[in-house]
Amino acid sequence: MTAQTQIIIGMSTCNIAAGAQDVLHLIENRVAADGLDARVSVMGCLGMCYCEPQVKVIDPDGTAHVYTRVTPRRMERILADHVAGGQPRQPWIANFREGAEHDLMDKQQRIVLGNCGHVNPDDINDYIAREGYQALEKVLAQNDPEALIEEVQNSGLRGRGGAGFSTGLKWRFARNNRGDKNYVICNADEGDPGAFMDRTTLESDPHLVLEGMAIGAFAVGADEAYIYCRAEYPMAIARLERAIAQAEERGYLGQGILGTDFSFRVHVKEGAGAFVCGEETALIASIEGQRGMPRSRPPFPAEAGLFGKPTTINNVETWSNIPWIVRNGAAAFGALGTEKSKGTKVFALAGKIKHGGLVEVPMGITLHEIIHEIGGGTNSGRPVKAVQLGGPSGGCIPAHMFDLRIDYDEVTRTGAIMGSGGMVVMDDTTCMVDVARYFLNFTQLESCGKCTFCRVGTTRMLEILTRICEGEGVPEDIERLEHLAHQVKHTSLCGLGQSAPNPVLTTLRYFRDEYEEHIFAKHCRSGKCRNLCSYEITDNCTGCLICKKDCPVNCIEGARKQKHVIDQDACIRCGVCRDVCKFDAVIVK
């Protein structure tokens, strides 16, 4: 084959949201119209969502260049100068080369995301060319499920869906309980707001998840599987369905896989928008066509799960670790991470962060390394105040604790949880009482209503938090919140209620002064709670008119080059003036 230039464009939900579709149209039209000698294909997400859309140009000699923030206009230049003219447009190229320097990648270790951005998710050949399905071939050739489970157990892999239970043990439990019909389930519900690890994995490398599931099914003796994917992820669902069809065609899924008598069919089930359906027993009820209400365990799904049959349920990322472990061995996996948390973890960096996107790091790395060295600190230039880990079940860890190492047990000790990997960074414009109120509002809405304390307790907690944010807080409120928090935690059936108070408890633990300020001083220092703050313009003001122009209620007075003044009676305290001011002249009083 004569070497051809390859133009590969990122087509994931995040790339498309950033405008990749228009760029793709332009590439296709130009390549055809100008007769460029180039092969056009697509890739998933490279993980650097903050500078999408991205286009990778691979020269005929194999050198890859990743262009970032590509617009149709930029793409025209890239096609003319680089693809046709052989002159890469350096300023638009991400300042790293694959496998080389740059901090963003330096600290990362990609097991789960290894293929993201390197394979066309719609082409099984790409996956096969990168050791794809070799792990499945290996376990089928060895034909020893017990040894396979032993290997997974020895690797130390723990569930990545939140709870961190040993995957090997879970499989052993299921295998020991196996009956005439057994299922496996992939939990792709990804309900934590602020998390998008599973979406990206499914969109960028669907075969990886399928291979992991096939290996797991072989281990536990299952022949049928469901992938429960949230309906908000249409692209992930479409790519999975295509991948399943291709894998069946090639004999990696379906009847008599690779000439053995192992058969395995995979269905994709679309969720319908209920956070609690991420909980395994609720998820099973949902697949069965019921309201997604959790039930008490035991019996565990491994004993009586989907349609009453033994069922092994793991998260997308957990399944995605399996092929690597089978290929490289438990020892290699166990060499990564800390004593009790092995391997890597994928995190979704979002919020007030400069380099938002996906990172995969070895366990044991510190929060500081993730947020400052990889993430580049805040995008606002303001100081980081805290990071929220684990979504509505997790907690806020303050910036002074960023030497914390990522490890299931260490994170749990802070009152937060490792969770599924959402990491929302907050700066000093974020009010921690408001964050607690936000999460309680979420869990209160999503509570299925089965347990009284989860249903009513979260409502009462939300009422108290709302009152504090509105300036009506009373001195007893903090104690009441703590009391309710412990009751909700200890009397709820499922993880939703058991963990719903975590955002309140962690903010009370680390940001108690903010609660007290709201209640006693009737003041919100971050400028978020409108009844508790006012905005003022200081002498730093240069009279540039920007805030005046952007104010939604036109309450800023002042001529060009003259200090502006806010009309406090008309001001709605939305904070837009502070956000747009380039001179730090707007302060919260």
Ligand X SMILES: Cc1cc2nc3c(=O)[nH]c(=O)nc-3n(C[C@H](O)[C@H](O)[C@H](O)COP(=O)(O)O)c2cc1C
Contact positions toward another protein, by CB under 8 A?
13-14, 16-18, 49-50, 52, 190, 192-196, 199, 231-234, 269-275, 286-292, 307, 348-352, 356-357, 388, 391, 422, 424, 426, 430, 435, 438-439, 442, 448, 550, 552, 574-576, 579
Burial level of 587, CB count in 10 A (0-12/13-18/19+)? middle
Of 81, 73, 33, 22, the closest CA to residue 57 belongs to 81
Q: Can you read off the two tokens belonging to residue 474? A: 């009373």
Contact call for residue 300 and ligand X (CB under 6 A) = no
3-state DSSP assignment of residue 25: helix
AA identity, residue 418: M
Judged by CB, which is closer to another protein: 89, or 269? 269
Q: CA-CA distance, 379 to 365, in Å (whole number)? A: 22
DSSP-assigned states of every residue in 538-582: -TT-----HHHHH-TT--EE--TTS--EE-TTT-----HHHHH-S
Using rule CB under 6 A, residue 193 touches ligand FES: yes
User: How far lies 457's CA from each of 448, 454, 485, in Å?
Assistant: 13, 5, 8
Please list the residues that pair with 311 across neighbouring strands: 183
Residue 308, H or E segment: none
Is residue 279 a contact point for ligand X (CB under 6 A)?
yes
d(CA 222, CA 213): 10
Total of chain residues touching ligand X, rule CB under 6 A = 22
Q: Pick from ligand X, ligand FES, another protein, none: which does 433 bind, CB < 5 to 8 A by kind?
A: none
Q: Which of 153, 146, 442, 165 is nearest to 280 (CA)?
A: 165
Q: How many helices and strands in the chain, by DSSP H and E?
A: 25, 17
* Binding positions for ligand X, 389-448, rule CB under 6 A: 420
At 287, which helix (H) or strand (E)?
Answer: helix 280-287
Kindly identify the residues of this chain, within the stretch 478-537, that bind ligand X according to CB under 6 A.
494-496
**Residue 199 vs 345, nearer CB to ligand FES:** 199
Q: Angle, to 10 degrees, between the axis of helix 502-510 and the axis of helix 432-446? A: 170
Which residue's CB is nearer to ligand X, number 15 or number 443?
443
* 66 versus 326: smaller Cβ distance to ligand X: 326
Size of the site for ligand FES (CB under 6 A): 2
Q: Does 163 bind ligand X (CB under 6 A)?
A: yes
273: left (phi over 0), alpha (psi -120 to 50) or beta: left
- Write down the least CB distance from residue 504 to ligand X, Å: 16
Strand partners, 422: 348
235 binds ligand FES (CB under 6 A): no
Q: Report the partner that residue 173 touches, choosing among ligand FES, ligand X, another protein, none (CB closer than 5 to 8 A by kind).
A: none
Which token pair is 418?
A: 């490792």
Is residue 160 involved in binding ligand X (CB under 6 A)? yes
Query: Quick one: 328 or 380, whose CB is closer to another protein?
Result: 380
Which residues, 60 to 79, sit near ligand X by CB under 6 A?
A: none
314 touching ligand X, by CB under 6 A:
yes
Q: In terms of CB distance, is 194 or 329 closer to ligand FES?
A: 194
Closer CB to ligand X, residue 136 or residue 227? 227
Q: Does 278 bind ligand X (CB under 6 A)?
A: yes
- Return d(Cα 498, Cα 486) in angstroms, integer: 9
**Which residues are bridge partners to 351 per DSSP?**
425
Helix/strand/coil percentages in the chain, nearest 5: 45, 15, 40
Give the shortest CB-439-to-ligand FES separation in angstroms: 13
Binding partner of residue 182 among another protein, ligand X, ligand FES, none, CB cut-off 5 to 8 Å per kind: none
Out of 19, 72, 88, 194, the only residue in the binding site for ligand FES (CB under 6 A) is 194
CB of 189 to ligand X, least distance (A): 4
Residue 184 forms beta bridges with which residues?
225, 312
- Choose among another protein, ligand FES, ligand X, none what residue 323 binds, the Cβ cut-off being 5 to 8 Å by kind: none
What minimum distance in Å lies between the beta carbon of 193 and ligand FES?
Answer: 5
Closer by beta carbon to ligand X, 326 or else 478: 326
Which option in ligand FES, another protein, ligand X, none does residue 495 bind, with CB closer than 5 to 8 A by kind?
ligand X
CA distance 321 to 208: 9
Contact positions vs ligand X (CB under 6 A): 159-163, 165, 187, 189-191, 276, 278-280, 313-315, 318, 420, 494-496
Contact positions vs ligand FES (CB under 6 A): 193-194
